[in-house]
Structure 1
Amino acid sequence: MSGHRLGARWRRRRPLRTRLALAATAAVALVAVGVCAAAFLVVRGALYRQLDLSLTQSARLAAQHNPDSGPETLSGECRFLAAPACAEVVPADPARDPEKPYLLPVDPAARAVAAGTQAPYYTAIVHEGHPARMLTTDYAKGRALQVALRADTVEDGIARAAWWLALTAAAGVLLAGLLGYWVARTGLAPVTRLTATAERIAATRDPRHRIELPPPGPGKGAEDEITRLAGSFNTMLGELEQSVTAQRRLVADASHELRTPLTALRTNAELLARGDRLTPGQRERASLALGRQLREVTGLVNDLIELARDEEPQLLVEQVRLVPLVEYCAGAARGHWPGVAFRVRVEPEAGAAVVAGVPARLSRLLGNLLDNAAKFSPAGAEVEVALALRGDGGTELTVRDHGPGIADSDLPYVFDRFYRAGAARALPGSGLGLAMARQIARAHEAELTAEAAPGGGAVFRLTFGEAG
């Protein structure tokens, strides 16, 4: 158990590239060694089969030339394959052995072959200090024939084959190591770049870094998993960069926007602190200004908190009828802007329009649009609110004012946080109302756009999809 834990600890401490290289090397080396071992067995078997075939032919020739020989040595020249084989006849009964000793070793198995109780067999022997192979087969009734050939050439061939195959296996293992290293280096190159990029981001806290990906080209096929992982990491870095940039811009814009009201708050607070030097009218005006500025700062901070979340809170969604909601928001806007006329027009087909949403958030969206339209409307002008059904089954709400309109250069930025067109810089507001309206619209899967109205003014178009 301790050895297993040590091995697991060693594997965890090794880099992934090393472990992958070792795994690939081991796999290829195992295949190379297995193939060489199988080749050695095939070569060894082929050489021995050739020797056994020569022994069988020699035994057949000896039996043909000496069809009825008694126990004796038929041939004593035990050389190589091309030379005559050693041959002798062995009886089943040891009492019938000749006085002259046998040239080849005789064992009880040879007597059993002579007696017909055992099948012929091959034996590896040593003859006069040289390796040899002997065949013991049946010869005649009660006798067996033993034939032997020198096996030097076969043994040398097997030794040479073993040496060359061992050299081949060693070269295969070395090549497997090189290939394993190359595979690990090439296959994990995106992972290495990903790691280096992550380390640079952790060190510099700068998400602008990216992993270099191979350029897409014709005929390259589908990307592998590592490349897709690197691409996903780049996408994540892009999202992170956008989030960090938006956060920094929000902080910078908020600091800029809060500087003026906070300065005014401090001035009025310091003025009230010297209240004994002020007239009652001056103290009242300073108090009113201080209260108004506190409300503005409070509203600005609340808006900043909502926008900083960059998402809508998970509230209870219900089916909201748009006509009563629009009429309620228009009535509230009339109370806030008594000098502006708000006219609501609902097409008959849109009278029963319903959307899934949060009534309070939708009221905030419409209230921001109506406040924006009233802010830019001249005294006595009219803000037109229209509700209609679209041809695709969706619902469209438009808010039009008759103010100075939106310049083409300002259209791409009207929904940005703290953005104010040139005509709006002298007007009250924080520059967050339209940004918040678009955020609420996206949370309700609606689209909010702005455009210049024909004949002057601006039109804000809120489009809801088909009700589910």
Structure 2
Amino acid sequence: MSGAGGAGGADGVPAGGGRRLAAPWRRRRPLRTRLALAAAAAVALVAVGVCAAAFFVVRDALYRQLDLNLTQSARLAAQRNPDSGPGTLSGECRFLAAPACAEVVPADPANDPAAPYLLPVAPAARAVAAGRKAPYYTSIVHAGHPARMLTTDYTRGRALQVALRADSVEDALEEAAWWLALTGAAGMLMAGLLGYWVARTGLAPVTRLTATAERIAATRDPRHRIELPPPGPGRGAEDEVTRLAGSFNTMLGELEQSVTAQRRLVADASHELRTPLTALRTNAELLARGERLTAEQRERASLALGRQLREVTGLVNDLIELARDEEPQLLVEEVRLAPLVEYCVGAARSHWPGVSFRVRTEEAVVEGVPARLTRLLGNLLDNAAKFSSGAVRGRAAQGPGAQGRGAEVEVELAVRGGCAEVTVRDHGPGISEADLPYVFDRFYRAGAARALPGSGLGLAMARQIARAHGAELTAEAAAGGGALFRLTFGTAG
């Protein structure tokens, strides 16, 4: 066994059975190169085709003119010699300016003259003389020069052959061929340049898109954008590449908003969790020194620890639901809103005994998930009760369970224009113009709410549930004070 055979096969395949690498010339070329080659090949093919067609058109025109001259020469020869015997009539065709050569050929070779013919005699010429074949033209070489010959009928049993020198025609065709070849070569060169220009110009937005994508991948910064041509009245419709670049910019904008929202969510969650976790650690450390505490202090610390654990658990659960940024796919069914509103108001009365809830309902049926709609209405009612005037004073001053008297929340379910609408109004401090655009943001808490319990996630979750049900949830300042939340469903049965 030779040493070369141990390294690999004769065809270059590794001995281990690995796949052979492609040759450099077989590797896939860049898109710009392929587009330039395709455009150049298309234009070059058209240029070569046009030049070839032009050559054949010129050749046909020159030979048609030469054949017309032969026809006229044959007519003159027949008129001058109406009844000549076989043999040469005139000319030798040895000089370019000489008259046409003419000779008479009999159908029977036995009638040929003793002197040799000046022009070649083919069997087809005998057939023309005998009347079995139509007159025809043929290209010959006579005395070392190109010539064109016409064979036509002369008198009964004889044919007339007339020839003219074709040097001028051949020279003209050769010159035309050279010029057309130069034109074709210039066309192919121009095709290559135009193909490169087309590829460079046409793929410029794609190049910018690629550079932007690579820059984003390197810097992880989605704020970069592709530069687009400014819109103008004379620019016409956008092409596909410009539309692709615009769609890519739109996608980058959505990505930037998503990244910003994610970072803000993480920052806000870290800020909101810091305080309850600190309180939990403090109470846990306090209970760890239980032998130094009285029974009443241990009881108070245990209750505080349990309450803080429930708050942290609720906050984490809310964060998990909001972080999905979409509602889970649950079973959708027809929901009667009037009983659902009554149920949610009843639960809110038990949770806020110091708040008066006034309810007015109509019959309305919508499609949705009852558990999620219950969560949505519960969040709105809790928010309204918390911000009612008496509730604000009671909860802020004394903590949970110490609501003030006289607080009132108005709840109404009505059908307007075929749409079910639920409104929840409180009589609290209301929503300022500065806070109104942010009431549904995660962790946003207005100045009047910072002294109240809560994480600032209830309204954000309510809007997410509403959007999942195709409903619209808005907030506005109520006439006469307080805040008004309006939940509008698309259709109602």
Q: Same fold judged by TM-score > 0.5? A: yes
* Matched AA of 1:95: A
Partner residue, 2:387: 376
- 2:283 pairs, out of 264, 268, 277, with 268
- 1:53 pairs, out of 68, 71, 82, with 68
Q: Distance in 2 between matches of 1:122 and 1:61?
A: 17
Q: Distance in 2 between matches of 1:111 and 1:460?
A: 112
1:190 aligns with 2:216: no
Contact 1:75 1:85 in 2 (8 A): yes
Deviation at 1:463, TM superposition (A): 1.5
Q: Distance in 1 between matches of 2:266 and 2:254?
A: 18
Which string of whole-angstrom CA distances, capped at 9 and with x for unpartnered residues, describes residues 117-141 of structure 1? Answer: 2222222111221111111222112
State which drifts further: 217-226 or 264-273: 217-226
Deviation at 1:187, TM superposition (A): 2.0
The 3 A distance-change label for structure 1 pair 81 and 395 is farther
Contact 2:96 2:167 in 1 (8 A): no
Partner residue, 1:13: 28
Deviation at 1:108, TM superposition (A): 2.3
Partner residue, 1:385: 411
Superposition map of 1:453-468 within 5 A: 453-467=478-492
Contact 1:80 1:152 in 2 (8 A): no
Q: Distance in 1 between matches of 2:258 and 2:180?
A: 62
The 3 A distance-change label for structure 1 pair 11 and 299 is farther
Deviation at 1:454, TM superposition (A): 2.0
Superposition map of 1:443-454 within 5 A: 443-454=468-479
Q: Distance in 2 between matches of 1:268 and 1:293?
A: 9
Deviation at 1:82, TM superposition (A): 5.9
* Matched AA of 1:342: F
Contact 1:80 1:153 in 2 (8 A): no
1:366 aligns with 2:377: yes
Which string of whole-angstrom CA distances, capped at 9 and with x for unpartnered residues, describes residues 133-181 of structure 1? Answer: 1112221122221111111100011111111111111122122222222
Uncovered stretches (5+) of structure 2, i.e. residues with no partner: 1-10, 12-20, 391-403
Partner residue, 1:397: 422
Q: Distance in 1 between matches of 2:283 and 2:169?
A: 113
Partner residue, 2:397: none
1:355 aligns with 2:373: no
- 1:407 pairs, out of 402, 411, 432, with 432
State which drifts further: 337-346 or 240-249: 337-346
Which string of whole-angstrom CA distances, capped at 9 and with x for unpartnered residues, describes residues 24-58 of structure 1? Answer: 22222111111111111111111111111111111
Deviation at 1:12, TM superposition (A): 6.7
Superposition map of 1:67-466 within 5 A: 67-78=82-93, 83-346=98-361, 350=362, 352-377=363-388, 378=390, 379-380=404-405, 381-390=407-416, 392-466=417-491
Contact 1:137 1:146 in 2 (8 A): yes
Identity across matched positions, percent = 87
Which string of whole-angstrom CA distances, capped at 9 and with x for unpartnered residues, describes residues 44-100 of structure 1? Answer: 111111111111111111111111112222222426776411112222233333333
Q: Distance in 2 between matches of 1:10 and 1:359?
A: 66
Q: Distance in 2 between matches of 1:89 and 1:382?
A: 131
Q: Distance in 1 between matches of 2:247 and 2:109?
A: 88
Contact 2:35 2:195 in 1 (8 A): yes
Q: Report the number of matched residues.
A: 460
Deviation at 1:8, TM superposition (A): 12
Deviation at 1:115, TM superposition (A): 2.4
State which drifts further: 412-421 or 173-182: 173-182
Q: Distance in 2 between matches of 1:427 and 1:76?
A: 127
Contact 2:135 2:150 in 1 (8 A): yes
Uncovered stretches (5+) of structure 1, i.e. residues with no partner: none
Deviation at 1:446, TM superposition (A): 1.3
2:225 aligns to what SS in structure 1?
A: coil
Runs of 4+ in structure 1 off by over 3 angstroms are 6-12, 79-83
Contact 1:365 1:440 in 2 (8 A): yes
Contact 2:139 2:146 in 1 (8 A): yes
Q: Distance in 2 between matches of 1:325 and 1:395?
A: 13
State which drifts further: 166-175 or 408-417: 166-175
Q: Distance in 2 between matches of 1:206 and 1:7?
A: 37
Q: Distance in 1 between matches of 2:432 and 2:447?
A: 9
1:178 aligns to what SS in structure 2?
A: helix
Which string of whole-angstrom CA distances, capped at 9 and with x for unpartnered residues, describes residues 279-319 of structure 1? Answer: 22222211111111111110000000111111111111111
Deviation at 1:254, TM superposition (A): 0.5
The 3 A distance-change label for structure 1 pair 195 and 265 is same
Q: Distance in 2 between matches of 1:151 and 1:302?
A: 101
Q: Distance in 1 between matches of 2:198 and 2:419?
A: 56
Contact 2:62 2:169 in 1 (8 A): yes
Q: Distance in 1 between matches of 2:381 and 2:24?
A: 67
Q: Distance in 2 between matches of 1:188 and 1:168?
A: 29
Deviation at 1:361, TM superposition (A): 0.7
Which string of whole-angstrom CA distances, capped at 9 and with x for unpartnered residues, describes residues 363-402 of structure 1? Answer: 1111111111111121111111122222x12122111111
CA RMSD of aligned residues (A): 2.1
Which string of whole-angstrom CA distances, capped at 9 and with x for unpartnered residues, describes residues 238-257 of structure 1? Answer: 11111111111111110111
Q: Distance in 1 between matches of 2:386 and 2:123?
A: 122
Q: Distance in 2 between matches of 1:224 and 1:272?
A: 71
2:86 aligns to what SS in structure 1?
A: coil
The 3 A distance-change label for structure 1 pair 9 and 230 is farther
